Structure 1
Amino acid sequence: MTCPQLEIADIFRHHGQQWRETHQGHVSLNQLKVMSAIEHCRTQVLGGHLLRCQACEDTHISYNSCRNRHCPKCQASSAKRWLEARQAQLLPVDYYHLVFTLPKEVANLAYYNKSVMYGLLLKVAAETLLTIGADVKRLGAKLGVTFVLHTWGSTMTHHPHVHGIVPGGGLSADGEHWVSCKSGFFLPVRVLSRLFRRLYLEKLYQAHQQHSLLFFGNDEPLEDKASFAKWLTPLRKKEWVVYAKRPFAGPKAVLSYLSRYTHRVAISNSRLVKCDSNEVTFRCKHYRAKVSKRYRTMTLSNNEFIRRFLLHTLPLGFHRIRHYGLTANTGCKKNLKQARKLLNVVEVIPETKDLVGDKPIKQAQAPVFVCPECGGPMVIKEILNSQLKPRAPPMKLVN
């Protein structure tokens, strides 16, 4: 296999069945669904369309996508749709990029408690940012933040952290003024780190008191309250990494960043180098090395590569992109309208003239297919049915 043709799906198709048999009984149903979706994505198994070009009359088969959020091939279109919805929310101010990271000891426990501890990571990072931002000694403003959860490092190891995009300012407490931060400086990182550490450990202890955490293997003794409290003690003195980058160079740079990060999966197809019967080689980044030597390749066994990829399967229904503060769903429109008024920005109005009241009507448009040969429009001539049979409804047990 060579780089242009190699995909995650190829690795799963060639080595996935053996991996499933080897790890039978130790793989979750959600992980099996992810593997199946990626293997069948854009193949005849999911069905598709037979297309014919109206210009050159060439025929082409377009197979359906799996639309699984862990599939590297399906994320480009999802990111595009999401970005189009976010463009109208950008304000003409500096935007800052912050990263909140869990220490290794907590990250190990988080793997068995993804819903609880990933959720806490997002909520506590937001609470930290909003609390420090509202402090009159710091900024004294209500902020808005978009957080994106990532659970991997460059080598696909388990490394849970959140990326935050924050405008450099916010609304005053009374909502009548826009408060801007100092140019090139948002909030003190050390203060954010201390509060983030304290809040997270407090809420983690509460989760333990409520018996919301699971413990396996070497962590089983932590199920005891006294042992868990003792385990938390050194974590209260350890440095928790909160990182702030320089402000983005305008709204376009913000959108460019979001397009790369919001719908990213553990590894993209473009990073794969080669795969044989035993090993997979891929490109990765070594962050502690010099810039000139930062990019290198890593080789893993097929089994280890699949295991690392599936480490990052999210719980069913878990929202990895969340908005807080000014951009929270409950008051987003009202807050942004007030912010634009204070910043003297004209609100972007939808171009469509089809409105019901003040809301645009979403018109259903037929999908546009382009001929790969001449670039002309293609029309659907035949629907190719999926080979997957629909799941039957659960049977009712009769006493």
Structure 2
Amino acid sequence: MSAVLHTWGQNLSQHVHLHCLVPGGALGDDGGWHGARSHYLFPVRALSRHFRGHLVSGLRQAATAGELHRVTRPGDVDDQLNALMVTEWVVYSKDCLEHTDTVVRYLARYTRRIAISNARILAVDDRQVTLRYKDYRDRDRRKQLVLDGEEFVRRFLLHVLPKGLMRVRHYGFLANRCRRRRLAQIRQALAVAEVTPDADSAASDPEPTYTCPHCQQPTLRVIGTLAPRRPTCGRPPNHREQRYRA
């Protein structure tokens, strides 16, 4: 599977969860592809309860080993874990056989975005920030939220990942060390040819590209040319600046 970490809610609260794209089958030891018997790889309710038990068991083992240093009150670990076990956990699973491209694009947006876009920030002054959000608990109604500047920064920084923590991880036959070999085996088992970019369509792209000075890849494109209103820094009046994007 491919898993994408998502940490924020619409109001910038800390809402840590994973979006996972899971294949509906597995590559067997015989080199063949074994598809799921239904649209779902696992029953949703069974998956929810298995995930709950697995995580609570891991927390209990960590507590026994003395690794939960912030929990100091006697009996607090058992009380919290027992409360977790009697709560129904939610694992939302849905097949995407007819909308695969849409789902992939949806997950791809999370690989680069963080917390909030500029379009949702309605107003900023010396003290407060006003933002727009969707209240999913109130029938997806759009509302406005006013936060003090310090509170806005605090919530935003909740979603800056620690150094070394990967936002996207690939597992199984999609893992980096075996992906190329395993995908070739799966395509052979399914009698599916590898899809390559259309050379004709790529050649017909009239937009010029420029090599990025940092990654040395041809990913820069001109999106506009800015002419200064007056000469600056000793530059001649006809000097023009170009803006790029990757």
Q: Determine the C-alpha separation between the residues in 2 that align with 1:181 and 1:261.
A: 30
- Counterpart selection for 1:187 from 42, 45, 53: 42
- 5 Å matches for 1:216-365? 219-221=71-73, 224=74, 226-247=75-96, 249-291=98-140, 294-348=141-195, 364-365=216-217
**Whose RCO is larger (CA < 8 A, sep 6+)?**
1
Q: Determine the C-alpha separation between the residues in 2 that align with 1:242 and 1:308.
A: 25
The alpha-carbon deviation at position 250 of structure 1 amounts to: 4.0
- 5 Å matches for 1:74-223? 145-183=1-39, 185-215=40-70, 219-221=71-73
Taking structure 1 as reference, are residues 368 and 247 closer, same or farther at Cα in structure 2, changes over 3 Å only?
closer
The alpha-carbon deviation at position 193 of structure 1 amounts to: 0.7
Taking structure 1 as reference, are residues 302 and 364 closer, same or farther at Cα in structure 2, changes over 3 Å only?
closer
**Which SS does the other structure have where 2:155 is aligned?**
helix
Taking structure 1 as reference, are residues 286 and 192 closer, same or farther at Cα in structure 2, changes over 3 Å only?
same
Q: Which runs of no fewer than 5 residues in structure 2 stay unpaired?
A: 200-214, 227-239, 242-246
Q: Determine the C-alpha separation between the residues in 1 that align with 2:220 and 2:85.
A: 56
Q: Determine the C-alpha separation between the residues in 2 that align with 1:193 and 1:311.
A: 26
The alpha-carbon deviation at position 320 of structure 1 amounts to: 2.1
Report how many aligned residue pairs link the two structures: 213
**Which SS does the other structure have where 1:192 is aligned?**
helix
Q: TM-score, normalised by structure 1?
A: 0.48
Supply the AA of the counterpart residue of 1:196: F
Q: Is the 8 A contact 1:147 1:322 kept in 2?
A: yes
Q: Determine the C-alpha separation between the residues in 2 that align with 1:237 and 1:160.
A: 21
Taking structure 1 as reference, are residues 317 and 342 closer, same or farther at Cα in structure 2, changes over 3 Å only?
same
Q: Determine the C-alpha separation between the residues in 1 that align with 2:80 and 2:104.
A: 41
**Which SS does the other structure have where 1:372 is aligned?**
strand
Q: Deviations over 1:130-162 (max 9, x none)?
A: xxxxxxxxxxxxxxx111111221111111111
Q: Determine the C-alpha separation between the residues in 2 that align with 1:255 and 1:331.
A: 21
2:222 matched to 1:370?
yes
Q: Is the 8 A contact 1:178 1:342 kept in 2?
A: no
The alpha-carbon deviation at position 288 of structure 1 amounts to: 2.3
Q: Determine the C-alpha separation between the residues in 2 that align with 1:272 and 1:182.
A: 43
- 5 Å matches for 1:382-393? none
Q: Determine the C-alpha separation between the residues in 2 that align with 1:167 and 1:214.
A: 38
Taking structure 1 as reference, are residues 341 and 250 closer, same or farther at Cα in structure 2, changes over 3 Å only?
farther
Supply the AA of the counterpart residue of 1:281: T
Identity rate, percent = 40
Supply the AA of the counterpart residue of 1:230: D
The alpha-carbon deviation at position 174 of structure 1 amounts to: 3.2
Instruction: Report the more deviating stretch, 201-210 or 156-165.
Output: 201-210
Supply the AA of the counterpart residue of 2:166: H
Supply the AA of the counterpart residue of 2:186: A
Q: Determine the C-alpha separation between the residues in 2 that align with 1:186 and 1:271.
A: 37
**Which SS does the other structure have where 2:177 is aligned?**
coil
Supply the AA of the counterpart residue of 2:92: Y
Taking structure 1 as reference, are residues 249 and 299 closer, same or farther at Cα in structure 2, changes over 3 Å only?
farther
The alpha-carbon deviation at position 243 of structure 1 amounts to: 0.9
Q: Determine the C-alpha separation between the residues in 1 that align with 2:192 and 2:94.
A: 26
Q: Determine the C-alpha separation between the residues in 2 that align with 1:301 and 1:326.
A: 47
Q: Is the 8 A contact 1:178 1:343 kept in 2?
A: no
Q: Determine the C-alpha separation between the residues in 1 that align with 2:103 and 2:36.
A: 18
What does residue 106 of structure 1 align with? none
Q: Is the 8 A contact 2:31 2:189 kept in 1?
A: no
The alpha-carbon deviation at position 181 of structure 1 amounts to: 4.2
Q: TM-score, normalised by structure 2?
A: 0.75
